[in-house]
Amino acid sequence: MSDSQAKAFPVSWEELHRTSKALAWRLLELGPFEGLVAVTRGGLVPAAIVARELEIRLIDTACISSYHNRDQGHLDVLKPAEMAGDGEGWLIVDDLVDTGETAKALRAMMPKAHFATVYAKPAGRPLVDTFVTEVSQDTWIFFPWDMEPQPSTPIIGQKG
């Protein structure tokens, strides 16, 4: 996705916490879950919040790399979830489902797991079981770990 096509969607730490907690509320009636698989790296923070809210203490990771310089490239499975087996009774948590390529890899690893994300884009949405917020395919979500506080120019100083 080129920068000129992307719509910016910045997410604050507070908003991510609130939306991850909303995800936990949606998952509450579907549990209890035997354990949780956090998808690295983006799914680590939402997974920690969901695990706390649902009192899940058994946590594994699936380490998958798919983004390189804001472009989705080759999918690398660096470490599969080892404790979850076929996923029976397990919950997979990620921050976002975008094109669905990572979701397809996770589904192949753990076909019986319940897959939940905080955000979903249309191309990947059919691959997740539960999500909170849908955004358009051309939206680039800036998560709090992608941003740093910066001084801004007052509006009056921007007149040129």
34-76 residue pLDDT tens: 999 999 999 999 999 999 999 999 999 999 987 655 555 678 8
Rounded Cα distance, 6 and 17, in Å: 24
Rounded Cα distance, 153 and 159, in Å: 10
- Among residues 123, 143, 119, which one has the least CA distance to residue 41? 143
pLDDT mean over 114-134: 97
Q: What per-residue confidence (pLDDT) applies to 99? A: 92
> Which of 60, 86, 94, 138 is the catalytic position?
94
Q: Which residue has the higher pLDDT, 3 or 143?
A: 143
Helix H segments across the chain? 13-28, 44-53, 101-109
Q: Which residue has the higher pLDDT, 147 or 28?
A: 28
> Which of 60, 76, 86, 95 is the catalytic position?
95
Active site residue 129: no
> Which of 60, 86, 98, 129 is the catalytic position?
98
pLDDT mean over 8-30: 96
Q: What per-residue confidence (pLDDT) applies to 17? A: 97
Active site residue 71: no
Q: What per-residue confidence (pLDDT) applies to 71? A: 57
Q: What per-residue confidence (pLDDT) applies to 1? A: 45
Active site residue 98: yes
> Check: CATH 3.40.50.2020 for 7-145?
yes
Rounded Cα distance, 104 and 40, in Å: 15
Compute how many other C-beta atoms are within 10 angstroms of the C-beta atom of residue 51: 20
Q: Locate the domains of the chain by residue range.
A: 7-145
Is the pLDDT at 29 greater than 70? The verdict is yes
| Secondary structure class of 144 (helix, strand, coil) | helix
